[in-house]
Structure 1
Amino acid sequence: MAPGLPIVNFARRTRIYWEINRMMVRGSLRAVAHRFRRSPRVPGWSLAYESIVEMMKLSTPGDSIQSANEIRRPLERLTNVTRPIGVEQKRVNTALFCGEWVSTRASTDERIILYLHGGGYVSGSPATHLAVTARLAHEAQARLFALDYRLAPEHPFPAQLEDAWAAYWWLITEQGYSPEQIIVAGDSAGGGLTMALLLALRDAHVPLPAGGVGFSPWLDLTLSGETLLTNAPTDFLNLTILRTAARMYCDGYDPHHPLISPLYADLEGLPPLLIQVGSAEMLLDDSRRFAERARAAGVDIQLEIWDKMVHVWHFTWLIEPKARQAIRQAGNFIRQRVAAARQEQPILH
């Protein structure tokens, strides 16, 4: 498969639409009751995209959440909808962490992505995010290491950061990759963890990667952004799940801690960053405020606000052109950043 071509088995589109339809039928009674009260149609959304958003809203727990499994199960079911083809996976188990290599025919060893999945720090895995990681690896023409970090509440902060640190150090010291070859990327909570890892590496004077990428990053676990309320009608997230996940992750730590909520950190000295966020998502203000503070600290940051897209819309790339375009642009950023970082390295004599 030539670099740049989409990983799409067009014969599977019918099956995917059928799967979406089947999941919608299962929740049809709830859909009838809630669609017009809780999920007004957004002008510009396709029927397929709106159906995905509605399906995710109906499957996202609300009201009261008694256990982490109530958050985990809906995300695990999402893997039934999009399973990319032409992807090579190789499991890695070390004494300190687990994960898997993800690559496609376009992947090369010139670029390495350390990917930190989302899920509110309490859910998610390399399996749940394979649709996004495989597409990103393809567009970036990179090998991607998807970290299977420990989850709260069984393992609250700072376990996830410790695992991310260990994986980054392993890539450099045991796998032989240079920091200039590596991009750290993540979505949602994984996007917040991406920024926390970069901050921790900077403070420890460890060589920084070529850059960082955040898809709809969760950067403020104090939940102070205005769009948490103003964008609630269009996004599939809700305050109940965000508050529950934040409580499980923080486990007594102040949510203002800069490695929990990077929005409140001193951002000076971070490598170039790309953040993609949707204008219709509840966490929009996290990215806008973070980008403003990063620029004031002298960080080279690109903030892309994608019109009418919801939280981590990248998952919908099989049906939504904006999702394909967003991942393509992230892939371009990764290729350009690694090339630039290599050129910036001094030549040793």
Structure 2
Amino acid sequence: MSLVDPELRASAEAQMAQPLPPLTVAGLPTLRAMWAAPDRLAAPAPAVIDRTVKGLGAAPPVAVEVIGQGSADARHPAILHIHGGGMISGRAKNLTPFCQDLAARFDCLVVNVDYRLSPETPFPGPLEDLYAALKWLHDDAEALGVDRSRIAVMGESAGGGLAALLAIMARDRGEIPLCLQVMLYPMLDDRTGSTLTPPSHIGAIGWNAAANAFGWTAFLGAPAGSAAVPPQAVPARVSNLADLPPAFIGVGAIDLFVDEDVQYARRLIDAGVPTRLVVAPGAYHAFDFVVPEAKVSREFTQAWRSALAAAFGQTEVA
């Protein structure tokens, strides 16, 4: 606890008093039910439109929330947002107010995607859902009032890892240019918690090594850390990171993902990708959502907001 930022300690103690139970397939309904969907922000917050877009190939339609509105005479930037939940839980609606704030703050359109969860839908299904939504956003940009040159992808935790995979897929397919990938404490390496053991003080609060191994195994359809992992399914295992869009990576210094996130940022830099890395001292997983008023959370949030503003060609966003 001495390593935790003082403003984050009360929440850290509460989390350690009720640690995450061992995850099992049978226990997933209970885990998923624990996610409470907050009320959407009322007007004058940007409106939320629920719709579906065509899935890739024979895949089912993808549910999305379209938040904010562009206009034909003024093309707006756009964010494709990807929620977290360890690949196994969470829903788009859990982050609806967050996405409404994004839309208002950046005067942009936000597409908040309800991708299919694992293990019911393993890789590549969830990623294909996200690509289908991204392709719709790009292809229908004129009707949506979106500037195709200012589309960013953003996600937290598992959503951050999926944002990394989506940026790789977009590069490989050569169909959709992205101006930025924002990854907040992203889940990037299946080996963390399986074949790689972090120091005891890393990942002790919130998402832990055992949960990480479970989540990756569910997503991959193969044991986390094994040689049976599908190609292009794990960002940290992708050999070529060149020609990816500029990146922002932010993580807490005692988050389970800190080592893999720092390593991924270094590899992006080595590949010539403009990259900003922020490591928040004394911060655990999702600290900025848990204690948003803490100084370390406010500084962390301002850092990624500044990166988005710069990518959108906007002045500094408060």
Query: TM exceeds 0.5?
Result: yes
User: Aligned residue for 1:290?
Assistant: 264
Partner Cα separation in structure 2 for residue 146 and residue 301 of structure 1: 24
Asked if 1:173 is matched to 2:142, the reply is no
Calculate percent identity across the aligned residue pairs: 23
Contact 1:109/1:143, CA 8 A, preserved across alignment: no
User: Aligned residue for 2:310?
Assistant: 336
Unaligned runs of 5+ in 1: 1-39, 341-349
| Correspondence for 2:209 among 226, 239, 244 | 239
Partner Cα separation in structure 1 for residue 105 and residue 198 of structure 2: 31
Partner Cα separation in structure 2 for residue 194 and residue 62 of structure 1: 27
Alignment of 1:86-101 (within 5 A): 87=45, 88-96=47-55, 97-101=62-66
1:38-88 deviation line (CA, Å, top 9, x unaligned): xx3545322xx33433444555532353332243233x13x46x9756533
Counterpart AA for 1:99: V
Partner Cα separation in structure 1 for residue 275 and residue 86 of structure 2: 24
| Correspondence for 2:236 among 263, 278, 282 | 263
User: Aligned residue for 1:276?
Assistant: 250
Q: Secondary structure at the match of 1:207?
A: coil
* 117 and 277 in structure 1: CA distance in 2 versus 1, 3 angstrom threshold: same
Shift of 1:232: 3.0
Q: Secondary structure at the match of 1:179?
A: strand
Partner Cα separation in structure 1 for residue 228 and residue 83 of structure 2: 20
Contact 1:115/1:147, CA 8 A, preserved across alignment: yes
Contact 1:92/1:99, CA 8 A, preserved across alignment: yes
* 327 and 95 in structure 1: CA distance in 2 versus 1, 3 angstrom threshold: same
1:196-223 deviation line (CA, Å, top 9, x unaligned): 1111111112232111000000000122
User: Aligned residue for 1:19?
Assistant: none
Q: Secondary structure at the match of 1:129?
A: helix
Partner Cα separation in structure 2 for residue 131 and residue 279 of structure 1: 27
Shift of 1:145: 1.1
* 134 and 328 in structure 1: CA distance in 2 versus 1, 3 angstrom threshold: farther
| Correspondence for 2:88 among 122, 128, 135 | 122
User: Aligned residue for 2:159?
Assistant: 190
User: Aligned residue for 2:58?
Assistant: none
* 230 and 290 in structure 1: CA distance in 2 versus 1, 3 angstrom threshold: same
Partner Cα separation in structure 1 for residue 98 and residue 19 of structure 2: 19
Partner Cα separation in structure 2 for residue 169 and residue 120 of structure 1: 24
Counterpart AA for 2:206: F
User: Aligned residue for 1:9?
Assistant: none
Partner Cα separation in structure 2 for residue 162 and residue 50 of structure 1: 39
Normalization by structure 2: what TM-score? 0.82
* 57 and 69 in structure 1: CA distance in 2 versus 1, 3 angstrom threshold: farther
* 43 and 329 in structure 1: CA distance in 2 versus 1, 3 angstrom threshold: closer
Unaligned runs of 5+ in 2: 56-61
Partner Cα separation in structure 1 for residue 294 and residue 40 of structure 2: 15
Alignment of 1:1-349 (within 5 A): 40=1, 42=3, 44-46=5-7, 49-57=8-16, 61-63=20-22, 65=24, 66-74=26-34, 76-77=35-36, 79=37, 87=45, 88-96=47-55, 97-103=62-68, 110-176=76-142, 177-223=146-192, 224-227=195-198, 229-233=200-204, 235-252=205-222, 256-257=229-230, 259-265=232-238, 266-316=240-290, 318-339=292-313
Counterpart AA for 1:90: I
Shift of 1:116: 0.7
Shift of 1:92: 1.6
Q: Secondary structure at the match of 2:312?
A: helix
Q: Secondary structure at the match of 2:92?
A: coil
Counterpart AA for 1:239: A
Q: Secondary structure at the match of 1:282?
A: coil
Shift of 1:322: 2.8
* 55 and 335 in structure 1: CA distance in 2 versus 1, 3 angstrom threshold: same
Q: Secondary structure at the match of 1:124?
A: coil
Contact 1:213/1:330, CA 8 A, preserved across alignment: yes
Report the number of matched residues.
292
Bigger helix share: 1
Contact 2:253/2:282, CA 8 A, preserved across alignment: yes
1:153-183 deviation line (CA, Å, top 9, x unaligned): 1111111110111011101112423431210
Partner Cα separation in structure 2 for residue 272 and residue 140 of structure 1: 18
Partner Cα separation in structure 2 for residue 289 and residue 255 of structure 1: 22
* 228 and 260 in structure 1: CA distance in 2 versus 1, 3 angstrom threshold: farther
1:254-287 deviation line (CA, Å, top 9, x unaligned): 5754532111211011011000101121110111
